[in-house]
Structure formats: C-alpha cells, structure tokens
Amino acid sequence: MNALNPYCPELATVQEVIQETANIRTLRITLNDPGKMRRFAFQPGQVGQLSVFGVGESTFVINSPPTCKDYLQFSIMRVGEVTQRLHQLSAGDPLGVRAPLGNAFPVDAMAGKHILFIAGGIGMAPLRTLLLTLLGERERYGDITLIYGARSPHDLCYRYEFEDWKARGADLVLTVDQEFPGWTERVGFVPTVLSEESPSPHNRIAVVCGPPIMIKFVLFGLKELEFEDHQILTTLEKRMKCGIGICGRCNIGSRYVCVDGPVFNFDQLRHMVPDL
C-alpha cells in the first residue's frame, strides 16, 4: 500500500492471462517498482483493489500464495463494467493495485488440525491461496480435503493444477451439477456431496466459499455433522469502496468487511447477523 496516500494505487503490469472458464480469467501481475514487488508481503485471504484507469476499482482476493514472489495472481469473474474491462487486459497492459487489504485466514491456529475446504465456482479463488500455503508446509496439518463443485467441468477453475494438489497431499472430491460426457468424478450439488462424504468434525476446520445459496446449504450440512460455529470459516463479499475502514460502505452491523474481514468464522457472523 502507498504509505503516503492509501487511496493511490501502485502502478502494475499484466504479465500473463489465463482463461479459466468462459467468464473467469486469471491475471498474473507485477508491481512496476521492482523494490516494492520484492518487499510486497501479504497473508492468505487478503484482498486487493484492482483499478482500470478511467473506469473504476474493484475488490479481488490475492490468490497466489505469499511465498510466490514472481507475481500476484487474481482471478476475476466477469459481471459488470470493471470486471469486463479487466478481462480485456493482455500481457503488457497497465493497471493499478491497492493491496494488501483486510484480514487473513488464521493459518497458525489451523496447525495440527484436519482442514476441509468447500468451494463452489469462483469461490475457489480465496481458497487456492490458503490451500497452497498449507500444502507448502504439509506436515503441519492433518488431512487436507477439498470438495469443489461447479456447474460443469468447464466451470472449474485451476483444473490444470488438480494433479499437483493431489501429489502434494490434498484429497480432491470434484463434482459438477449434472452428468457431462467424459466426466468420471462426482455429480451433484456441493452440499449433497458434503453429506455423502460426512467428514467428522473432530479436530477439523471447514473453510467455505462460494455462492450464497451454496454457503447456506453447506452450513446446514456442517451443522448436521455437528461442526461448531467456531470451526467454520468463510470469506465475505460485500461491496467495498475505500477498503481501509473510512467510507463506511462495507459494514455489516458494527463490523467493516474491509478491515474486520473479509475472513470471519460463523460464531462472529451470527453475532453480526443474528438471523443467519
């Protein structure tokens, strides 16, 4: 972040573009100042504001692991104007970045525990940085399981990395909503697959990210399996403006998603949203 003016983006350049799905692209970017790029530090779960000059700024999770010093990676689903313009960028194009913002996953508190990742669609982006971080210190954690679903095989992000994740010690349970020619993995919605898998809550943390309807039914499923609220983490999407706790745009109750979040456990969320 610019120490003198936190609203001022750092200049950055797109190095590589990866087409993940029909409407999701991954941008690998570097800060133009090599010293700032070298010193840039963040924790899994933190976000950045990407700006397209003359268009606007939007929030995206940094989904490369903090150990990656060559680039910062963001995966962007095209939904409106800023994301459409971000999708038009190619290698060599300029953009602005304000990062890192927000809190992070409690990586140290996860040590010694089994970790269950549950993701839907673009919800895999915030979990990728955490997954790669845990796999980088595999011996610190128990079982690492990922239940990841999307509408079709073509809607799963990072498909080209799945074999590497498995080789590094993650168990993957992949699912799509309907039968698809050539698909040999699971078929069914993520919450259904969760109840089929029935993981024990004993010494386990669940990290959930996906569309609100998926989160709602996954939460029911985890409660049926007797997970406690404090064992369930998620990362919230609430539209942000300043990203630094000043404008008041992103509040839920008395908490600001941009500084108190975006990572919360469900114990905290129930206090913020009593009818959750």
Task: Report how far residue 127's alpha carbon sits from residue 177's, in angstroms, rounded to the nearest whole number.
Answer: 20
Task: Report how far residue 276's alpha carbon sits from residue 269's, in angstroms, rounded to the nearest whole number.
Answer: 8
CB 97 to ligand FES: min, Å: 16
Cis? peptide before 94, omega within 30° of 0: no
Among residues 246, 270, 273, 276, the one that binds ligand FES under rule CB under 6 A: 246
Among residues 79, 91, 213, 273, the one that binds ligand FAD under rule CB under 6 A: 79
Name which of 81 and 226 has its Cβ closer to ligand FAD: 81
Write out the binding residues for ligand FES, residues 249-268 only, by CB under 6 A: 249-250, 256, 258
State whether the Cα torsion 256-104-176-197 is positive or negative: negative
- Tell how strand 10-21 and strand 24-31 pair up: antiparallel
Burial class (CB in 10 A: 0-12, 13-18, 19+), 163: exposed
| 245 touches ligand FES by CB under 6 A | yes
CB 249 to ligand FAD: min, Å: 10
| 60 touches ligand FAD by CB under 6 A | yes
Name which of 47 and 97 has its Cβ closer to ligand FAD: 47
Name which of 131 and 258 has its Cβ closer to ligand FES: 258
Among residues 45, 210, 221, 262, the one that binds ligand FAD under rule CB under 6 A: 262
CB 49 to ligand FES: min, Å: 9
Q: What kind and span of H or E run contains 12? A: strand 10-21
The three-class DSSP label of residue 15 is: strand
Name which of 83 and 133 has its Cβ closer to ligand FAD: 83
CB 101 to ligand FES: min, Å: 9
> What's the Rg (C-alpha) of the chain?
18
| 238 touches ligand FAD by CB under 6 A | yes
Residue tagged 């790669």 (tokens): 132
Task: Report how far residue 74's alpha carbon sits from residue 259's, in angstroms, rounded to the nearest whole number.
Answer: 20
CB 254 to ligand FES: min, Å: 12
CB 268 to ligand FES: min, Å: 16
Stretch that binds ligand FES, among 13-21, 215-223, 245-253, 268-276 (CB under 6 A): 245-253
Among residues 35, 80, 92, 112, the one that binds ligand FAD under rule CB under 6 A: 80
Distances (CA, A) of 80 to 58, 85, 86, 106, 246: 10, 9, 10, 32, 25
